[in-house]
Amino acid sequence: MKLLLTLFLAGLSLWTARADKEILLIAGVPSHGPGEHEFRAGCLLLADCLQKVPGIHATVASNGWPSDERLLRTANAILIYADGGGGHPAIPPARMKLLDELAASGVGIGTAHYGVEVPAGPPGFAMLRWTGGYFEPYWSVNPTWVARFDRLPKHPVTQGVTPFQIEDEWYYHMRFTPELAGVTPILSVVPPVETIRQPDGTHSSNPWVRSDVARGVPQILMWTFDRPTGGRGFGFTGGHYHKNWGNESFRRLVLNALVWSAGAEVPPGGIVSTVSPELLGANQDPK
């Protein structure tokens, strides 16, 4: 009897891992100039790629938050790609409570670009619970620079991803869980000193980040998070320039992370996708 129960549970676990997964991509309201912060166009592009993956269903909710919150309750993973700070779509108390419930049930939660930033305090603690890290004003910085990624760790999210370099508004000097508990750095580099030569400010520079850069401390630009209570999360600080979704390695990292955070198996070669110039240029906000 015990052997039969063990085999049944093993089979159930395998079935669960292979069952269809629902991924919800939350796109923020229009922001910045043409080709920048194209949250809706970026989410639609990623969803188009995901829809071609067997067993994955992707839905995009535009303009900051789903009008029907049943989309959140039926999702296996959620991506928030939107403006952050005090206007972050996830930080009104009722929404934080809902996301806490979903995270506790094992729903994956990812954030991209400005979506990684929330105020310190309850929103920051919530982000640590969901994704393991976040951008904190007066601590983190958001310079635009060319980051070169020569080495990638072995992880399902990096499968099929080759070294690359690309210019973006790469945020760094994040706040993370104590001792990086549950956090796996995915993209890490030592930024050039030119990235923090601006005067100190909410996002530009501060004594702590200057010290780290001067000492050559690698900064984490993308990470994954295995929650201690179960479930997965991730943060990706790139995504300012819409054109960067045309870069295969850049795009594959996020597609892999979405599939991984949903609890699905990432293929050995990663999520393969092709983005045409027409798709890359489609759905951008009128600005």
Alpha carbon separation from 246 to 27, 129, 164, 259, 281 (Å, rounded): 18, 31, 13, 19, 10
- Token pair recorded at residue 232: 């997965």
> Is residue 122 domain-resident?
yes
pLDDT band at 18 (very low <50, low <70, confident <90, very high): low
Q: List the alpha helices (DSSP H) in 105-176.
A: 122-131
Residue 28 tokens read as 């923020």
* Residue 117 placed within a domain: yes
- By DSSP bridging, strand 144-149 and strand 133-134 are unpaired
175 located within any domain: yes
pLDDT at 8 over 50: no
Given this model, what pLDDT does residue 9 score? 40
Average pLDDT, the chain: 94
pLDDT for 171 beyond 50: yes
> Of 136, 218, 205, 212, whose CA–CA distance to 174 is shortest?
136
In a domain, 25, yes or no: yes
Q: State how far the Cα of 263 lies from the Cα of 250, in Å rounded to an integer.
A: 21
Q: In this model, does residue 58 exceed pLDDT 50?
A: yes
Confidence of residue 13 (pLDDT cuts 50, 70, 90): very low
Q: How confident is the model over 90-134, as pLDDT tens digits?
A: 999 999 999 999 999 999 999 999 999 999 999 999 999 999 999
Give the model confidence (pLDDT) of 134-149 as tens digits. 999 999 999 999 999 9
Residue 4 has pLDDT above 90, yes or no: no
- In tens, the pLDDT along 183-202 reads 999 999 999 999 999 999 99
User: Phi/psi of residue 234, each to 5°?
Assistant: -160, 160
| CATH number of the domain residue 32 falls in | 3.40.50.880
What's the mean pLDDT in 167-192? 98
pLDDT at residue 184, rounded to an integer? 98
What is d(CA 256, CA 270) in angstroms, rounded to the nearest whole number? 6
Give CA–CA dist 57/71, Å, rounded: 12
* 25: three-class secondary structure by DSSP: strand
Q: Does some domain include residue 226?
A: yes
Mean of pLDDT values over 44-50: 98
**Average confidence (pLDDT) over 243-258:** 98
Percentage of the chain modeled with pLDDT above 70: 93
Domain membership of residue 8 (yes or no) is: no
- Work out the pLDDT band at 11, boundaries 50, 70, 90: very low
42 is a domain residue: yes
Task: Note down the domain range covering 32.
Answer: 21-278
Classify residue 2: in a domain, yes or no.
no
Number of structural domains (the chain) is 1
Burial class, 201, CB count within 10 angstroms (exposed 0-12 / middle 13-18 / buried 19+): exposed
Task: Tell me what pLDDT residue 287 has.
Answer: 85
Using alpha carbons only, give the angle 75, 81, 85 rounded to the nearest 5 degrees: 120
